[in-house]
Chain A
Amino acid sequence: MAENNLDPIKQFEVHEVIAFEAFGLDLAFTNASFFMVLTTFLTIVLFTVALTGRAMIPNRSQSVAELAYGFVADMIRSTAGSDGLRFFPLVFSLFIFILVANLLGMFPYFPAPGWHSYTVTSQIIVTAALAMLVWLTVVLYGLFTHGLKFLKIFFPSGIPWPLYFIVTPIEIISFASRPVSHSVRLFANLLAGHILLKVFAGFVVMLAAGLGTAGYLVGVLPFAMTLGLTALEFLVAFLQAYVFAILTCIYLSDALHPGH
């Protein structure tokens, strides 16, 4: 039993909480679903609280809300230009959803089904869905606004024409593989980080269980490591949300200005 509890992979297991079937599919409400809904709920509640009685001179929570707004707006302006701001709600939603989901995953224990937290973004299906959302937005928006001119993204301007035989296939492959790299980057970072945390935290328990008092003393080392990794994971939680959002901006920039 103890070994099973120390399994670093167990934290990623999805469990059914409330059975639910529709369209012949098993759409059960799971612990992962709980954290998705919680992410949305918490984000809306926090922003609503931050914006009640909003004042000319903002209080702390209002400052944070405005800071997040300015941060994402600047990100879009610097990568996709000012006309990229039409995608502001999408980029902001992606950024804040991933950020809050990542941070919720940092709780070791949580008042949730199973009493442990679940990192939604450590599920490949979730990151893949978000990455496909971005990719399809780019393709559809690009084709609808620019028509065939959108294909210019595969023919970068300013190179001698024979090079197109090499560059164009590369561009097509890189464009097609975007959703893969986009989703795997987020998924793998969160997954690896959480496995590492659990492994080092598990060392503490194993040492204490196996060596008794000496184990407690030696256990200080992996405990310190866990502490450091936790800090690192907080950084990763923010950084990966930022990376996902900024890549979204860069990809959207293609849809806005193909041929650049």
Chain B
Amino acid sequence: MTLSPESEGAYGADAAHAASGVFPPFDPTYYASSLFWLTISFVVLYIALDRFILPKIKTTIEDRRDRIADDLDAAAQAKAEAEAAGQAYEQSLADARAKAHGIAADTRAALDKELAKESAEVEAELAEKQAAAEVSIREAKEKAFAEVRTIASSATVAAVEALAGLEVAEADAGKAVDKAMKGA
């Protein structure tokens, strides 16, 4: 029953040499050898790590840190630029709105003014026409009155002559008519 292969190893014969009855870790037979090979192994490892491996890891980590810092800076800058652009946009929007308000107000004022002017003109024209019409009405009325007097005095002359047989001067008749018209 072979349970551990060390009994069959290439150095099976050495087992007798090593198993000198001392607890193996305190067996000083190979202390010098262990120290020698440990020194070689550790020094080689130290040099490899110190000269080649650790600097590589260090630069990789630092490169990454720098890159991340750079990227963050770039992102912050882009953000600031975007914010500035946004503000500029809002500003121009506000300006345009204010300008539009101004234009609307100006247009409204101009329209109001024109409207007021036109309506004043129309009113003046109307007043003029009204005045002219009133004048012509009065003239027509006066003319009509004058004609009524003439007709009335002629009628009076004719009526007096026919009724009383009296000849009345046209002028007297006119006076009488005037008197009557005033009395009426």
Contacts and interface: CB of A to CB of B under 8 A. Distances in A.
B24 A17 contact: no
Contacts of B30: 14, 16, 26, 28, 30, 32
A9 interface: yes
A209 B64 contact: no
A65 B54 CA distance: 9
A145 B92 CA distance: 68
Contact of B42 (A29, A30, A56, A93): A93
Contacts of A54: 56, 60
A89 B14 CA distance: 38
A150 interface: no
A6 B2 CA distance: 11
Interface of A is mostly: helix
A37 B5 contact: no
A209 B1 contact: yes
A44 B54 contact: no
B53 A48 contact: yes
* Residue among A13, A39, A113, A120 with the highest chain B CB neighbour number at 10 A: A13
Contacts, number: 174
A80 interface: no
Nearest to A109: B5
A27 B32 CA distance: 6
A204 to B, nearest CB: 11
Interface string A46-63: 011001001010100010
A13 B3 CA distance: 17
A45 to B, nearest CB: 10
B48 to A, nearest CB: 5
B167 interface: no
A123 B48 contact: no
Interface string B31-72: 111111111111011101110011011101101100100000
Nearest to A122: B25
Given A89-B49, A124-B25, A116 B4 contact: yes
Nearest to A202: B3
Given A54-B56, A113-B9, A125 B42 contact: no
B137 to A, nearest CB: 106
B29 interface: yes
Contact of B11 (A16, A32, A124, A133): A16
A69 B6 CA distance: 37
B45 A44 contact: yes
B32 A40 contact: no
A10 B6 contact: yes
Contact of A187 (B2, B25, B27, B45): B25
B41 to A, nearest CB: 4
Given A97-B42, A124-B25, A66 B33 contact: no
A169 interface: no
Contacts of B11: 15-17, 113-114
A2 interface: yes
Contacts of A12: 24-25
A66 B3 contact: no
A129 interface: yes
B154 to A, nearest CB: 131
A65 B3 CA distance: 38
Contact of A30 (B33, B63, B64): B33
Residue from the set B14, B38, B46 with the largest chain A CB neighbour count within 10 Å = B38
B1 to A, nearest CB: 5
Interface in B10-31: 10-11, 14-15, 17-19, 23-27, 29-31
Interface string A124-154: 1110011001000000000000000000000
* Listed residue (B18, B25, B60, B63) with the most chain A CB atoms within 10 angstroms of its CB: B25
Q: Which 8 A-B pairs have the closest CB atoms?
A: A33-B37, A89-B50, A12-B24, A115-B5, A36-B41, A114-B9, A40-B45, A40-B41
Given A13-B18, A32-B33, A116-B4, 19 more contacts: A1-B2, A5-B2, A5-B6, A13-B15, A14-B18, A15-B18, A16-B11, A27-B32, A29-B33, A36-B37, A37-B40, A40-B42, A65-B57, A89-B49, A96-B45, A96-B49, A114-B5, A124-B25, A126-B38
